[in-house]
């Protein structure tokens, strides 16, 4: 049967070619010496003898843990407010929460420096601590990871069964008790996924520590120093292998969490419509205003920086940074390249995720194959872009590879971006489909509908709003990413985010901030289109009830 | 629903196809990787295309180390034809892996001797020299009543504690430039003694060679150990910066052109290497840096500090290249494992 082996098998091959084969092409060097002879664990021993390793490992672990705790504490109430309250202006709040996802990471870094750096307007808020170091890493990482957590938690909270709440009310459970016994257990899988994604992505990111980390060393910086500073691909590969460990743990936890997650929507479910509650809605609105306010302050400051003559010594406002950009034909072409690449990534990525998410969540096909799919899907989030990009060069630039023709094309950049950002959309799709109880599938089977027909007539419509979010997620990430593409772009396929890096290196800070702002505006436009599409889909699906 | 999905997949496939078509290009083209200042790199390409209108140059510009890392990673099937401007020490890492073609460009013998690869079979020819220097923020200096330092030794004065940044030599060629300079001028022992004292004053070690100057430019620190070009650009943008060339002398290095072994457009790659070794190419570079491949071109770009050439140290490049790994390991042992003291 094609859905037993054919489709899942094809997907495993596609994902393997896009993720573990290229990554393996680089990481396998951990086991070879420079001349290409098998070296066993020699490189690991060599790396273990490097001074400062244990400090870097400890810094990576505790900074990621603190960030994860803060992000979950902020993202849960925010996601709850967006899905389960009658907070006003939900659309606006949602957009503001996603802002860090919509801008190149340079922009919040500028914003933080302008706010809390040595010339920062709010420097005194740090109570004498310096931005550059642990404080900077945690602040910037929280901003960077928050939207991912809000998206995943929002997916988990979006669906619920009103009958459970009615039952709880009949049993005289108060609002707090209903939250602890119904809502929280129902969103357990989303909490675990969000925690894993935040922890792992902070653990592997090296952009933030390199800009605001001061002299604090973390493991992900070691890769950069070894591969880029010393051209020691072998030791760099060792660190890459070590960085995969948290992802392995996360995968194990994810498997367990999925086992305990029951479908929240069954055939008899009725959608949750939050009743007005002045206390709850006020409290949640206050939280949302504080979080959104902080994000607006950071990004507002960065945009302000793009509008002044020279921060912080000449604050005369003007559009000179934007007009200088417009005069450069190369920069305009970079923006068009970005739009082409991000658009293609969104289309192809969403199509792929629809299939993988469906196979995993609805357990279509052979169990071993779907397990393999889920394992493959968890890899990209654990791999620094640097490793992915260099892995792509090693793998696709090998003349013996039948896909060698892709080297130097934009298609390869699209595949790379799709692979790089695959994990979160896949989890969103799985999370969205897990909310459907299995008895619906059984009912479909009893009616003699095959798995494909069930997928088309039931699963796909349920998933549709999530798919729109997934397309948006791919698009905005592809617009802003740099780390992997820096090894893949050519003169013809130079994208806007790389142009921003070039501007910074050329010490044109104002123009870099201006171009980053332009990228953010494009992404905001995409997010607005996404919201409009969601609203449209909800209108056409009256069974969802009134809450989006 | 499925139809819609299939249609979008087909659409994506179409886009892919057209992009593949674009990539399989036509005519005489040359793929160039450069780590020069972007304005300088573009000016050189324009000059080359005017001299050789039949050849179209496709160039990417990036930092020194990532460009070389990319060349090393692409070794199985080289994508670049020419590396137009990369630090010689980094080029040597590619050369050590056998990735560069030895070629003696047409005007090689007219290039000033220190801008030449001294080996019998040269792989590189110099474009310009870059030297380490300080970016000093005059506005912050005045606010904190800190005088501008005049020598490297001045930087060890406790009044500058927490006001200096420099890149880490583990990730930045600029930092290695400075460290090699200190080891040359103060000697092996004296150099490390100097760095021990400097370490007490460093606010942080970063990962980009131009970043310390930018941080000085925006007042995040008072002094950045960097090189002149970012300082010049920042002054042009309006930063209150003066570029200090310390009195003991400056560590420096050559940025050079090399042909990649296995270049697909070898004939045109040689044409470019020939042109890069010519006087007109040096005249273009002289608009950006004072010291180029031709000694007798005397030009000082706007806002560039006076006297850089006179202060360049006499350096034993072969010895420094041989001890590169050892210097990095020693630096990591001394300063890489502990967090720098705070101001």
Q: Each residue of B103-116: pLDDT tens digit?
A: 999 999 999 999 99
* pLDDT reported for residue B16: 53
What gap in Å lies between CA B107 and CA B272, rounded to an integer? 12
Give the residues across from B29 on adjacent strands: B56
* A contact residues 130-169, partner B, Cβ 8 Å cutoff: 130, 132-133
In chain B, what residues touch A119 (CB-CB under 8 Å)? 218-220
CB contact under 8 A, B337 and A113: no
B31 touches A: beta carbon within 8 Å: yes
CB contact under 8 A, B237 and A509: yes
In chain B, what residues touch A224 (CB-CB under 8 Å)? 171, 207
In a 3-state reduction of DSSP, which class is residue B203?
strand
* B contact residues 100-159, partner A, Cβ 8 Å cutoff: 139
* pLDDT reported for residue B324: 87
* pLDDT reported for residue B25: 44
List the single residue in A225, A343, A502 with the smallest CB-CB distance to B170.
A225
Give the residue from chain B lying closest to A25, CA to CA: B73
Residue B299 has pLDDT above 80, yes or no: yes
Residue A454 has pLDDT above 60, yes or no: yes
B45 touches A: beta carbon within 8 Å: no
End-to-end CA distance of chain A: 37
pLDDT tens digits for A53-83?
A: 888 889 999 999 999 999 999 999 999 999 8
ipTM given for this complex? 0.89
* Residue A49 CB coordination number (10 Å): 8
**Torsion sign over Cα A238, A239, A240, A246:** positive
Nearest CA-CA distance, residue B38 and chain A, Å: 7
What gap in Å lies between CA A296 and CA A304, rounded to an integer? 11
CB contact under 8 A, A509 and B214: yes
In terms of C-beta distances under 8 Å and separation of at least 24 residues, what long-range contacts does B36-41 make, across chains too?
A: B36/B61, B36/B84, B36/B85, B36/B127, B36/B255, B37/A506, B37/B229, B37/B233, B37/B288, B38/A502, B38/A505, B38/A506, B39/A506, B39/B288, B40/B85, B40/B284, B40/B285, B40/B287, B40/B288, B40/B289, B41/B84, B41/B85
* A contact residues 76-115, partner B, Cβ 8 Å cutoff: 113
Give the residue from chain A lying closest to B342, CA to CA: A130
In a 3-state reduction of DSSP, which class is residue A148?
helix
What gap in Å lies between CA B107 and CA A221, rounded to an integer? 42
Buried b (16+ CB within 10 A) or exposed e, A413-427: bbbbbbbbbbbbbbb
* B contact residues 159-188, partner A, Cβ 8 Å cutoff: 168, 170-172
Give the residue from chain A lying closest to B332, CA to CA: A51
Give the residues across from A265 on adjacent strands: A436
Q: Rounded to 5, what percent of chain B is helix, strand, coil?
A: 45, 20, 35
Average pLDDT of span A271-291 = 89
Give the residues across from B30 on adjacent strands: B57
A2 touches B: beta carbon within 8 Å: no
Residue B9 has pLDDT above 60, yes or no: no
Nearest CA-CA distance, residue B109 and chain A, Å: 32
* pLDDT reported for residue A516: 95
pLDDT tens digits for B18-31?
A: 554 444 445 899 99
* A contact residues 421-460, partner B, Cβ 8 Å cutoff: 452, 456, 460
CB contact under 8 A, A507 and B20: no
Residue B36 has pLDDT above 80, yes or no: yes
Closest alpha carbon to A414 in A472, A354, A496, A489: A489
A10 touches B: beta carbon within 8 Å: no
In a 3-state reduction of DSSP, which class is residue B100?
strand
Nearest CA-CA distance, residue B171 and chain A, Å: 4
* pLDDT reported for residue B245: 98
Pick the residue of B3, B21, B46, B60 with the most A CBs within 10 A to test the interface with A by mutation: B60
* Residue B267 CB coordination number (10 Å): 11
Residue B287 has pLDDT above 70, yes or no: yes
3-class secondary structure per residue, B138-179 = HHHHHHCCCCCCCCCHHHHCHHHCCCEEEECCCCCHHHHHHH
Tokens 């992915």 sit at which residue? A388
What is the percent of chain A with per-residue pLDDT over 90, rounded to a whole number? 50
Give the residue from chain B lying closest to A394, CA to CA: B73
Q: For chain B, list the domains and their CATH numbers.
A: 26-129+253-304 (3.40.190.10), 130-252+311-336 (3.40.190.10)
Residue A429: CA count within 13 A, CB half-sphere: 32
Among the ranges given (A327-341, B147-161, B308-322), the one the predictor scored with the smallest mean pLDDT: B308-322
| Mean pLDDT rounded to a whole number for chain B | 90
- The answer, yes or no, to whether the previous bond of B70 is cis (omega within 30 of 0) is no
* Residue A310 CB coordination number (10 Å): 18
Residue B189 has pLDDT above 90, yes or no: yes
Residue B305 has pLDDT above 50, yes or no: yes
pLDDT tens digits for A401-418?
A: 999 999 999 999 999 999
Residue of B274 and A51 predicted with greater confidence: B274
CB contact under 8 A, A229 and B336: no
The pair of three-digit structure tokens given for residue A279, joined into one six-digit string:
């206390």
* B contact residues 232-271, partner A, Cβ 8 Å cutoff: 233-234, 237-240
With residue B65 as reference, give the H or E element that holds it.
helix B64-73
* A contact residues 299-328, partner B, Cβ 8 Å cutoff: 309-314
Nearest CA-CA distance, residue B110 and chain A, Å: 31
Give the residues across from A310 on adjacent strands: A314
List the single residue in B77, B202, B332 with the smallest CB-CB distance to A51.
B332
Nearest CA-CA distance, residue A405 and chain B, Å: 8
What gap in Å lies between CA A364 and CA B164, rounded to an integer? 60
Q: Is A525 exposed, middle or buried (0-12, 13-18, 19+ CB in 10 A)?
A: exposed
pLDDT tens digits for A245-265?
A: 887 887 788 778 777 765 556
Residue A290 has pLDDT above 80, yes or no: yes
CB contact under 8 A, A460 and B2: yes
Residue A48: CA count within 13 A, CB half-sphere: 5
List the single residue in B1, B214, B234 with the smallest CB-CB distance to A456.
B1
Tokens 């290196």 sit at which residue? A505
Pick the residue of B21, B76, B85 with the most A CBs within 10 A to test the interface with A by mutation: B76
List the single residue in A117, A397, A405 with the smallest CB-CB distance to B220.
A117
A409 touches B: beta carbon within 8 Å: yes
Residue B40: phi, psi to the nearest 5? -65, -45
CB contact under 8 A, B218 and A224: no
CB contact under 8 A, A507 and B210: yes
Widest pairwise Cα distance in chain A: 73
Tokens 């980390």 sit at which residue? A213
B217 touches A: beta carbon within 8 Å: yes
A390 touches B: beta carbon within 8 Å: yes
CB contact under 8 A, B214 and A507: yes
In chain A, what residues touch B209 (CB-CB under 8 Å)? none
* pLDDT reported for residue B340: 43
Residue A545 has pLDDT above 70, yes or no: no
What gap in Å lies between CA A322 and CA A308, rounded to an integer? 11
Residue of A176 and B160 predicted with greater confidence: B160
Q: For chain A, list the domains and their CATH numbers.
A: 2-544 (1.10.3720.10)
Between the CA of residue A461 and those of A86, A186, A354, A427, B318, what are the distances in Å? 25, 22, 11, 18, 68
In chain B, what residues touch A35 (CB-CB under 8 Å)? none
Nearest CA-CA distance, residue B41 and chain A, Å: 12
Average pLDDT of span A237-247 = 88
In chain A, what residues touch B172 (CB-CB under 8 Å)? 229
In chain B, what residues touch A231 (CB-CB under 8 Å)? 65, 68-69, 72, 93
CB contact under 8 A, A410 and B12: no
Q: By the 8 A CB rule, do A391 and A26 touch?
A: yes
List the single residue in B9, B62, B76 with the smallest CB-CB distance to A397.
B76
Give the residues across from A530 on adjacent strands: none
| pLDDT confidence bin for A424, thresholds 50/70/90 | confident
Q: Any idea what the Cα angle at residue A417 is, between residues A414 and A421, rounded to 5°?
A: 145
B328 touches A: beta carbon within 8 Å: yes
Give the residue from chain B lying closest to A56, CA to CA: B337
Residue B276: CA count within 13 A, CB half-sphere: 31
* pLDDT reported for residue B7: 55
**Torsion sign over Cα B122, B128, B130, B131:** positive
In chain B, what residues touch A52 (CB-CB under 8 Å)? 332, 336-337
CB contact under 8 A, A397 and B203: no
Counting DSSP H helices and E strands in chain B, the numbers are 13, 10
Nearest CA-CA distance, residue B230 and chain A, Å: 6
Average pLDDT of span A140-147 = 94
Among the ranges given (A6-15, B142-151, B312-321), the one the predictor scored with the smallest mean pLDDT: B312-321
Among the ranges given (A456-460, A480-484, B294-298), the one the predictor scored with the smallest mean pLDDT: A456-460
Give the residue from chain B lying closest to A467, CA to CA: B5
Q: What single-letter DSSP state applies at residue A458?
A: I
Among the ranges given (A167-181, A474-488, B51-65), the one the predictor scored with the smallest mean pLDDT: A167-181
In chain B, what residues touch A452 (CB-CB under 8 Å)? 2
């Amino acid at each position: 049967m094609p859905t037993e082996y054919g489709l899942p098998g094809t997907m495993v091959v596609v994902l393997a070619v896009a993720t573990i084969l290229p990554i393996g092409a680089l990481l396998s060097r951990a086991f070879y010496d420079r001349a290409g002879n098998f070296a066993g664990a020699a490189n690991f021993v060599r790396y273990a003898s490097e001074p400062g390793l244990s400090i870097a490992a400890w810094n990576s672990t505790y900074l990621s843990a603190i960030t994860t705790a803060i992000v979950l504490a902020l993202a849960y109430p925010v996601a709850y407010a967006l899905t389960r309250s009658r907070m006003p202006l939900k659309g606006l709040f949602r957009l503001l929460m996603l802002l860090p996802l919509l801008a190149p990471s340079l922009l919040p870094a500028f914003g933080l420096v302008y706010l809390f750096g040595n010339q920062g307007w709010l420097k005194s808020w740090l109570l004498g601590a310096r931005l550059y170091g642990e404080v900077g890493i945690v602040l910037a990482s929280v901003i960077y990871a928050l939207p991912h957590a809000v998206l995943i938690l929002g997916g988990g909270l979006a669906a619920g069964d009103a009958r459970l709440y009615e039952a709880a009310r009949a049993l005289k459970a108060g609002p707090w008790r209903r939250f602890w016994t119904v809502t929280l257990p129902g969103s357990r899988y989303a909490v675990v996924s969000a925690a894993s994604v935040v922890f792992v992505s902070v653990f592997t990111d090296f952009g933030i520590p390199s800009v605001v980390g001061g002299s604090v060393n973390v493991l992900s910086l070691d890769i950069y120093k070894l591969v880029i500073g010393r051209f020691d691909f072998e030791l760099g590969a060792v660190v890459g292998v070590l960085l995969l460990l948290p992802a392995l743990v996360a995968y194990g936890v994810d498997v367990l969490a999925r086992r305990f997650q029951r479908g929240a929507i069954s055939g008899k479910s009725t959608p949750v419509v939050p009743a007005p509650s002045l206390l709850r809605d006020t409290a949640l609105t206050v939280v949302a205003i504080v979080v959104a306010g902080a994000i607006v302050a950071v990004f507002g400051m960065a945009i302000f920086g793009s509008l002044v003559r020279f921060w912080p010594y000449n604050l005369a406002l003007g559009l000179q940074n934007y007009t200088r950009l417009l005069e450069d034909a190369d920069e305009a072409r970079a923006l068009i390249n970005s739009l082409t690449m991000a658009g293609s990534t969104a289309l192809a990525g969403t199509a792929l995720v629809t299939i993988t998410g469906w196979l995993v969540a609805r357990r279509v096909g052979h169990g071993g194959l779907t397990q393999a799919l889920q394992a493959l899907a968890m890899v990209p989030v654990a791999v620094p872009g640097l490793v992915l990009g260099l892995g792509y060069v090693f793998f696709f630039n090998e003349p013996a590879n039948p896909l060698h023709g892709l080297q130097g094309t934009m298609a390869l950049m699209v595949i790379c971006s799709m692979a790089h950002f695959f994990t979160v959309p896949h989890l969103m799709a799985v999370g969205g489909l897990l909310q459907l109880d299995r008895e619906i599938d059984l009912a479909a089977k009893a009616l003699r509908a095959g798995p494909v027909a069930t997928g088309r007539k039931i699963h796909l419509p349920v998933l549709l709003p999530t798919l729109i979010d997934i397309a948006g997620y791919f698009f905005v990430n592809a617009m802003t990413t740099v780390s992997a593409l820096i090894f893949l772009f050519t003169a013809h396929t130079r994208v806007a985010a790389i142009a921003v890096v070039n501007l910074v290196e050329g010490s044109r800070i104002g123009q870099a901030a201006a171009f980053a702002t332009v990228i953010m505006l494009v992404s905001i436009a995409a997010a607005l289109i996404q919201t409009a599409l969601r609203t449209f889909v909800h209108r056409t699906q009256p069974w969802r009830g009134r809450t989006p | 629903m499925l139809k819609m999905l299939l249609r979008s997949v087909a659409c994506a496939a179409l886009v892919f196809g057209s992009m593949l078509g674009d990539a399989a290009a036509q005519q005489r083209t040359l793929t160039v990787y450069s780590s020069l200042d972007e304005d300088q790199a573009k000016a050189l390409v324009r000059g080359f295309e005017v001299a050789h209108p039949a050849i179209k140059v496709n160039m990417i510009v990036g930092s020194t180390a990532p460009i070389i890392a990319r060349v090393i990673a692409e070794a199985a099937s080289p994508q670049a034809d020419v590396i137009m401007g990369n630090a010689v020490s980094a080029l040597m890492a590619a050369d050590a892996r056998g990735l560069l073609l030895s070629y003696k460009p047409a005007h090689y013998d007219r290039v000033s001797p220190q801008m030449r690869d001294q080996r019998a079979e040269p792989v590189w020819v110099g474009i310009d020299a870059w030297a380490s220097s300080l970016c000093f923020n005059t506005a912050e200096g005045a606010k904190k009543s800190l005088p501008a330092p005049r020598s490297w030794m001045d930087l060890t004065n406790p009044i500058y504690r927490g006001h200096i940044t420099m890149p880490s030599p583990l990730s930045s060629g600029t930092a290695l430039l400075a460290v090699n300079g200190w080891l040359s001028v103060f000697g092996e022992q004296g150099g490390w003694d100097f760095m021990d004292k400097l370490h007490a004053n460093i606010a942080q070690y970063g990962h980009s060679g131009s970043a310390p100057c930018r941080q000085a430019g925006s007042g995040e620190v008072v002094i950045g150990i960097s090189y002149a070009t970012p300082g010049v650009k920042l002054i042009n943008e309006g930063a209150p910066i003066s570029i200090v060339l310390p009195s003991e002398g400056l560590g420096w290095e050559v940025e050079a052109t090399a042909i990649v072994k296995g270049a697909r457009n070898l004939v045109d790659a040689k044409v470019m290497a020939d042109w890069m070794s010519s006087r007109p190419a040096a005249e273009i570079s002289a608009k950006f840096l004072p010291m180029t491949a031709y000694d007798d071109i005397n030009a000082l770009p706007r806002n560039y500090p006076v006297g850089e050439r006179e202060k360049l140290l006499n350096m034993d490049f072969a010895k420094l290249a041989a001890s590169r790994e050892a210097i990095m390991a020693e630096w990591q042992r001394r300063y890489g494992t502990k967090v720098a003291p705070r101001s």
